[in-house]
Chains A and B, each alone.
Chain A
Amino acid sequence: MSEWLHEDVLERTAAQYCGRCGDALVDASCAACKPDPADTTDGPTIKMPARPTFGMALCLFGILIVTFLPYATVGYDSTLEFHFGVQNAIQIMDAIVVLGFALVCWQATWPLFKTVPIVWCLSAISTGVITVSIAISFVAIAVMLTGVDEIMTIQPAFNAGYGWVFIFLTVVAQPAIIEELAFRGVIFDGLRTTLSDRETVVVTALLFMVIHMSPVAFPHLLIMGLLLGWMRLKSGSIWPCILMHATHNALVIAYEYRVTL
């Protein structure tokens, strides 16, 4: 009889508490540990990454290296049409690739375009002036030590029939927006998943430096990359970086115009 009573008592009653967390059940489901809705969908689902991953960062850098390599095929003996044809193709390809990566991780990329206080904008412009001064100094030292010719941008573009709008778009706007979106956007966030903030700033600066593939220019590119990374880290926005990069490139053009024309 005691065994029969034991079985009767052991008969399971309707659950009133959650077996996982002990909270009282509401409508036969636990509000504290409800299942992930994604687990209840039928069939396979493709989940886009919410933010860039470490692999995506290295993948984007690899693709950018491959697209930048044709720059090395353009030498002093190539025609202006070939030179600008290669340059324009590379810039269009880079823009498509970088925007593609940014769109895939739009949930992490979109917040980077948040507005920042005017102090950041002024700091970005000032830093751009400093970096262009450093760049001009380093290039002058390199020219003095090695006898290398400075790379001209304005005169070849004018000789090829292009105007100031083309020079602004290809030298100031596209590099500032696309390179910053790539290095201080996708690659920065991707590396940050594995590296610390400081390591991310340094590695991103080194990648930015090396992709220009001009060892003589590495010193000032590294300094510029470190400042851009620091600005991205502290402001949480990509606008100061775009502004600083655009200021730097615009002042380089202005310096070349002042010196040569």
Chain B
Amino acid sequence: MSDSSCPHCIAANQLDSRFCESCGKALPEPVTAGPRIVSNRQVAASEVGRSLQAEALRYQMRSARGALLALLILTIVSGFIVYAASDSLIENADFWVDDSTIPVLIASFIVIACLYLGLWVWAKVSPFAAVLSGLMLYITLWLSHIINDPSSQRNLIALAINIVVVLMLGKIVRKGLVYKRFMAHTNGRLG
């Protein structure tokens, strides 16, 4: 039987109707067996939901800060390597060099390290935005480095490190994006 009767006027209504089509009064919710289905918004507003959100945010912050700290250390170490090997770098460079090349490179590493430090501090408040910025910054500088000195990618260790860093940051950004979308949907910002 696909119809249900209204308790007020006994008129027939479809099972999925919420109001009676004859008298306009609210129909009782059909009783279903099994666990009660709740919406995302109800889960988010409950105590369990809030602790789940806090847990996801803490994980997101820890992984974002960890990744950005790794980038900062990598940049500092790379800067020291460039400084220590500056003479052989100039001798073997495939690109145009002059007296300002090494100072400019060192200054660039200092600026980039300061940027990653700033992102690491910012990640405490906005982990997703900080790690997204870090990823975009890293990819752009890596591509610029490849164009400036294509032979640098012949070093397989450096290439592997670059790929691992991009994959790691990409994974954190993807997880953060899923969490952001869930939060926006739960708070009713999305349709």
Contacts and interface: CB of A to CB of B under 8 A. Distances in A.
Interface of A: 9-13, 15-24, 54, 58, 61, 65, 69-70, 72-73, 75-77, 142, 145-149, 194-196, 198-199, 202-203, 206-207, 210-211, 213, 215-216, 218-219
Contacts of B109: 215
B18 A65 contact: no
B47 to A, nearest CB: 25
Contact of A20 (B3, B10, B19, B23): B19
Contacts of B10: 9-10
B99 A21 contact: no
B26 interface: yes
A19 B17 contact: yes
Interface residues of B, number: 50
Contacts of A213: 140-141, 144
Given A199-B126, A206-B133, A210-B136, A215 B21 contact: no
Nearest to B110: A215
Contacts of B148: 72
A82 to B, nearest CB: 14
Contact of A216 (B108, B147, B177, B181): B108
B137 interface: yes
Contacts of B129: 195, 199, 202-203
B18 A22 contact: yes
A76 B96 CA distance: 8
Interface string B144-156: 1001100000000
27 contacts: A10-B5, A10-B10, A15-B22, A17-B23, A19-B18, A20-B17, A22-B26, A23-B24, A61-B136, A65-B143, A70-B147, A72-B147, A73-B147, A76-B96, A142-B107, A145-B103, A146-B103, A195-B129, A202-B122, A202-B129, A203-B132, A206-B137, A215-B109, A215-B112, A215-B141, A218-B111, A219-B111
Given A194-B181, A202-B129, A13 B137 contact: no
Contacts of B16: 19
Given A12-B12, A23-B24, 15 more contacts: A12-B3, A13-B22, A17-B23, A19-B19, A21-B19, A22-B19, A54-B177, A76-B96, A145-B103, A146-B103, A194-B180, A202-B133, A211-B140, A213-B141, A213-B144
